[in-house]
Structure 1
C-alpha cells in the first residue's frame, strides 16, 4: 500500500521535473519570481491554489466530465505562461502588487484549471484513473512545484545579494527569458499550424 503511494507520488514528481515538459516549470518560475524568501507563505498559497486548479480539471478530465480539444489546451498553456511573464515585466518594481491578491489568486486558479486539462489528456493514457491515484499524483506534482519555487526563490536570493541585481531587474530578466522560451511554443502550436 505504502509502496503504491510513493510510486504514484513519484509519477507526479517526475511528470513536473521532466525536462521535455518544461512548460509547467516556466509557469512556476514566472509565478514565483516576483517574490523573495520572506514571502514564502504567499508563494506556497499561490502554488497550492494552482495545484487545486489543475487537480480539479485533472479529475474532471480523467472521469470524462469535461473534454476539451487537445490542440486548444496545448495552445492555451503557453499563453498562460506568456500572460504571467508579461504581467511581471509590466509590474516589476511596482509597490502595489499586494493590493490585487484576490485577482492574482483567481487568475492562478484559472491558469491551474487550464494546465490540469493538459494533465488530463496525458492521464487518460494511464489505465489506473482511480481517485486515490489522482490525488497521489497531484501530491507528487505539489511536491515538485514546491521544489521548483524554492529553487527560484533561492536563485533570486543569490542574484539579489551576491550579484547585486535589483529585485526589479531579477524579475525583468527571468520573465524576459521565459517570454523568449514560450513565444516559440505558441508559434509552433498545432492550433496555429
Structure 2
C-alpha cells in the first residue's frame, strides 16, 4: 500500500509540471499575480478555496459520480484564466490612482467572499480536467480511493511549490529590480491572458 501511495503521490506532483497541465500553471500565475510574499494569508485563502473546488470534482469524476463533456471543460479552463486576468487588470487600474503598494492588499480582510467563491468555482472546472488524466492512469479500477488521495495530495504539493515560486519571482522583480507592482500585475496577467486566448483558439 505504501508503494502504491508513493507512486500516485509522485504522479500527482509531477503532473503539475507536465505539459498536459500547463493550463493549470497559467491559472495559478493569474491567481497569484496581484499578490506578494507579504500577502501570503490572502494567497493561502485563495489557493485553499481553489483546492476545495478541484479536489471535490476530481474525486467525484474519478469515482464515477460525475460525468462531463471533455470538450466543454477544455473550453472552460482557458475562460477561467481569462476571467481571472480581467479581474486582475481591473483591480490594477482601480488602484492606480491610489498608488498600489505592497501593503494595500495585506490590510484587507483575509477572506473576501467574491474572490474566494470564484476561485472555488474555477477549481471545480480544473478538477474535472485533472480527472481525465487520473482515470487514464487508473484504468478499470472502480473505487481507487487510496490512489485518488495520493494523487490529489501530490497535486497540492506541486501546486504549493508553484505558488511559492511565483511569489518569490514577484518579490525579486519588485524589490530587486524595482518594477512597479501595477506593472507586474499588468504584465503577468496580460501574459497569462495571451496564453489563455491561444488555448481557447486551439480547442
TM over 0.5: yes
Q: Aligned to 2:16, what secondary structure does the other structure show?
A: helix
Paired residue for 1:101, among 112, 116, 119?
112
Report deviation, 1:162.
1.3
Q: Aligned equivalents of 2:20 and 2:127: distance in 1?
A: 17
Q: Aligned equivalents of 2:195 and 2:60: distance in 1?
A: 30
Cα distance per residue 1:18-76 (max 9 Å; x no partner): 13421000000111111111211221232122121111101111122111111000000
Alignment match, 2:42: 42
Q: Aligned equivalents of 1:134 and 1:51: distance in 2?
A: 14
Q: Aligned equivalents of 1:139 and 1:24: distance in 2?
A: 16
Gaps of 5+ in 2: none
State yes or no: 1:113 paired with 2:127. no
Q: Aligned equivalents of 1:4 and 1:64: distance in 2?
A: 21
Q: Aligned equivalents of 2:40 and 2:189: distance in 1?
A: 19
Q: Aligned equivalents of 2:146 and 2:162: distance in 1?
A: 25
Deviating more after overlay: 131-140 vs 170-179: 131-140
Contact preservation (8 Å) 2:8, 2:154: yes
Alignment match, 2:85: 85
Q: CA RMSD in A?
A: 1.8
Alignment match, 2:134: 123
Q: Aligned equivalents of 2:61 and 2:185: distance in 1?
A: 34
Contact preservation (8 Å) 1:47, 1:142: no
Per the normalisation by structure 1, the TM-score is 0.91
Paired residue for 1:136, among 145, 150, 159?
150
Deviating more after overlay: 62-71 vs 74-83: 62-71
Gaps of 5+ in 1: none
Q: Aligned to 1:85, what secondary structure does the other structure show?
A: helix
Alignment match, 1:165: 179
Aligned length: 189
Deviating more after overlay: 97-106 vs 52-61: 97-106
